[in-house]
């Protein structure tokens, strides 16, 4: 881990805390944050775990269109540029980097309005979003097999008690055009609703020299959402959410010379159309609360790319040299959770032991059609059918040990049965049982200061590698278990004007699932295959912290840092003794905000990330980088206008890298990277009441 970074970061936080008592008593407090992703909604101050919450104000000030805009604000969160938008996330160095590896068992859960989009989170647009919660560490009791490394939980704005209307228009560089509208309110004294629709279009920061086009890596993203709330009395609340998200993006992101000028004759696409719904019932007939959460999603996903990144004229004497690959996927999920819980203070032992019991069922169906073309002829083709059924029971007990001490214990038993068939004759039918849970001890030193220590066990189901040309003997891989030991502190000081959270963790991985790759045929770029294998052991440890400080009436300082050390301990034939892939040693964010009574506001932030290995199969690394983003504007009672800019200093950086042989005649291994977005500026005008 970089000591050169740790020392100034530590001194900076210490200096901020030391100067805090000089604040005047009449300055406004920061808003209290409520976390909703856990079994019970509670204030952030009382949660035992490392959590980052991005509230509605921060989403508006720091975001532009997509969750991608906010990733650098979350300590120890990284992503793989394998798709047009972040679909593959890594928390604390754990997570997938490509769609071509393993059965669809994600390490990082991704939920939007109770709908599970784990592994297909491209649909995470920000318009009309109210809050984003990122839970780091295994969520073995609450979310089970799909949250080994943690969870991202996004919640849109709920229907209100009064009629509301919001709209916005955006124009900007890269030919950005966007418009959105949201409105809703009460229908009568029992029903209320909210409807939102937003569309974003841009060209995608690439120029295709062969086609003489600037839109082959374009983004065309449509999000629609409807919410209906039924609340006949104080004991019952029913929330229905319907959504349709249609992302029709280009994918022409790689160039042979690692520039923004591509040569592809058949640019790829990254398309996801998702239809989804969720129904949450919250009923409190007495001392027991009944919660039912049902969700359904049907997603059509197409990912294609030009396998040689060129054209016949570009390859000259080596033409015809033309590869093209596509994966056409349909994914359907259905989830049902039912839980019973005591109302706080009404459980066993005169209310000193609160309890939760519940059951969960999930059904996943995924059909894939893989097609590779060489010089317009079918080179490889594979159709596969995958299904998985998960059943789980879980429980949690909260013990009030003393006036300010609480012990929480949780357990989850999950059984998974999967089935896989494909046109190559492969046939798998695995079944397994997995056990996870947590023990957490919390000390509420004051009403605004909490310290905790926890031990938790998470799990990720084993499976099999999908796709073409998987090496013999590596089709299947085993279940991974992860032990997470964590301690942390969070609190509010100076009448709420200063908030700080810090956590230290150590994660021990058993039968670690490792994403790796190889090129089967040196003269065939499309034989570059991804697959999942098991390493015997590995560990991840580090520190995460964030601070929000209202240090003057109109000024707020926001800072976060994630420090991470990862290593393979036992991995025969693998990179033993070095960092795991996509696990930078540090990541930080420093933001300064201004907002006055006259409506003027501004925000500038600097985000940085250390270098990281692109893959577990080679030792090529990215470079460290720092990005500067800003937004300034004015807001009145109904109107607001802001100018924003991202990557203002035009930093060059990479978000994905491959090391393989692409270029004839010798097909020498070389590093190819996808560059992150260059500078972009724009203007957004909003109107609402």
pLDDT in tens, 114-126: 999 998 989 999 9
Higher pLDDT, residue 465 or 627: 627
Confidence of residue 84 (pLDDT cuts 50, 70, 90): very high
Fold adopted by 3-688: Maltoporin; Chain A (2.40.170)
Confidence of residue 100 (pLDDT cuts 50, 70, 90): low
β-bridge partners, 152: 110, 134
DSSP state at residue 344: T
**Dihedral of alpha carbons 131, 137, 139, 143, sign:** positive
Quote the pLDDT of residue 203.
97
In the chain, domain spans = 3-688
- Of 89-93, 148-152, 360-364, 613-617, the poorest mean pLDDT is in 613-617
Quote the pLDDT of residue 464.
73
Q: What is the mean pLDDT of residues 607-634?
A: 95
Q: What is the mean pLDDT of residues 199-214?
A: 97
Quote the pLDDT of residue 13.
37
pLDDT tens for each residue of 507-543: 998 888 777 666 667 766 666 666 777 776 788 999 9
**What is this structure's pTM?**
0.90
pLDDT tens for each residue of 61-75: 999 999 999 999 999
What's the burial of 615, exposed, middle or buried (CB within 10 Å: 0-12/13-18/19+)? buried
**In the predicted model, is pLDDT for residue 186 greater than 80?**
yes
Query: Taking all residues of the chain, what is their mean pLDDT, rounded to a whole number?
Result: 89
Look at the chain and count its residues. Answer: 689
pLDDT tens for each residue of 263-296: 999 999 999 999 999 999 999 999 999 999 999 9
Q: What is the mean pLDDT of residues 133-162?
A: 93
Q: Which residues contact 472 (CB under 8 A, 6 or more apart)?
A: none
Give the CA distances from residue 606 to residues 17, 408, 562, in Å, rounded to whole numbers and listed in that order.
20, 38, 14
Task: Give percent of the chain above pLDDT 70.
Answer: 91
Give the CA distances from residue 551 to residues 299, 548, 588, 663, in Å, rounded to whole numbers and listed in that order.
46, 9, 20, 56
């Amino acid at each position: 881990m970089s000591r050169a970074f740790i020392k100034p970061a530590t001194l900076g936080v210490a200096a901020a805390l030391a100067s805090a008592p000089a604040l005047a008593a009449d300055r406004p407090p920061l808003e209290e944050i409520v976390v909703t992703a856990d079994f019970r909604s509670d204030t952030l101050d009382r949660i035992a775990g490392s959590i980052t919450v991005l509230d509605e104000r921060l989403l508006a000030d720091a975001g532009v269109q997509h969750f991608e805009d906010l990733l650098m604000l979350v300590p120890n969160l990284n992503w793989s540029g394998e798709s047009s938008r972040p679909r593959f996330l890594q928390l604390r160095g754990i997570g997938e980097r490509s769609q071509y590896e393993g059965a669809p068992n994600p390490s990082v859960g991704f939920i939007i309005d109770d709908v599970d989009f784990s592994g297909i989170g491209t649909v995470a647009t920000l318009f009309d979003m109210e809050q984003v919660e990122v839970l780091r560490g295994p969520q073995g009791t609450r979310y089970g097999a799909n949250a080994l490394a943690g969870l991202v939980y996004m919640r849109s704005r709920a229907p209100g008690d009064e009629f509301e209307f919001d709209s916005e228009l955006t124009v900007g560089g890269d030919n950005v055009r966007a418009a959105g509208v949201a409105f809703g309110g009460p229908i009568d004294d029992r029903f209320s609703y909210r409807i939102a629709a937003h569309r974003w279009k841009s060209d995608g920061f690439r120029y295709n020299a062969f086609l003489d086009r600037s839109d082959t890596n374009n983004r065309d993203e449509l999000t629609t959402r409807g919410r209906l709330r039924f609340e006949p009395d104080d004991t019952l609340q029913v929330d229905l959410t319907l959504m349709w998200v249609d992302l029709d993006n280009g994918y022409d992101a790689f160039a042979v010379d690692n520039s923004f000028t591509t040569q592809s004759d058949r640019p790829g696409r990254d398309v996801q159309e998702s239809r989804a719904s969720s129904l949450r019932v919250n009923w409190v007939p007495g001392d027991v609360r009944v919660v039912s959460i049902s969700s359904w999603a049907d997603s059509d996903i197409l990912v294609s790319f030009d396998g040689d990144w060129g054209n016949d004229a570009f390859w000259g004497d080596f033409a015809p040299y033309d590869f093209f690959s596509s994966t056409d996927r349909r994914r359907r999920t259905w989830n049902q959770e039912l839980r019973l819980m005591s109302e706080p203070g009404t459980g066993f032992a005169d209310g000193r032991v609160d309890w939760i019991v519940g059951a969960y069922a999930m059904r996943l169906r995924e059909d894939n059609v893989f097609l590779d073309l060489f010089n317009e002829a079918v080179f490889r083709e594979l159709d596969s059918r995958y299904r998985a059924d998960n059943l789980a029971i879980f429980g949690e007990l909260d013990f009030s040990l003393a006036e300010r001490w609480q012990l929480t214990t949780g357990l989850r038993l999950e059984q998974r049965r999967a089935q896989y068939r494909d046109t190559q004759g492969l046939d798998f039918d695995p079944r397994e049982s997995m056990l996870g849970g947590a023990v957490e001890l919390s000390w509420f030193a004051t009403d605004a200061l909490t310290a905790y220590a926890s031990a938790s066990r998470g799990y990720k189901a084993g499976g099999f590698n999908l796709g073409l040309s998987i090496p013999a003997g590596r089709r299947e891989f085993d279940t991974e278990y992860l032990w997470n030991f964590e301690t942390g502190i969070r609190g509010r000081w100076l009448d709420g004007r200063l908030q700080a959270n810090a956590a230290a963790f150590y994660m021990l991985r058993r039968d670690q699932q490792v994403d790796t790759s190889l090129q089967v045929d040196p003269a065939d770029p499309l034989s570059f295959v991804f697959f999942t294998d098991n390493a015997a052991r590995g560990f991840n440890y580090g520190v995460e912290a964030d601070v929000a400080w209202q240090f003057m009436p109109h000024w707020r300082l926001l800072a976060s840092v994630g420090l991470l050390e990862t290593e393979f301990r036992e991995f025969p034939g693998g990179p033993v003794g070095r960092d795991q892939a996509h696990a930078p040693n540090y990541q930080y964010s420093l933001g300064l905000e201004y907002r006055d009574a006259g409506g003027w506001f501004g925000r500038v932030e600097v985000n940085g990330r250390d270098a990281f290995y692109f893959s577990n199969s080679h030792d090529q690394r990215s470079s460290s980088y720092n990005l500067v983003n800003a937004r300034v504007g004015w807001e009145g009672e109904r109107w607001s206008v802001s100018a924003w800019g991202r990557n203002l200093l035009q930093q060059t950086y990479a978000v994905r890298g491959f090391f393989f042989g692409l270029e004839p005649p010798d097909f020498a291994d070389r590093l190819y990277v996808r560059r992150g977005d260059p500078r972009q500026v724009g203007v957004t005008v909003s109107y609402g009441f």
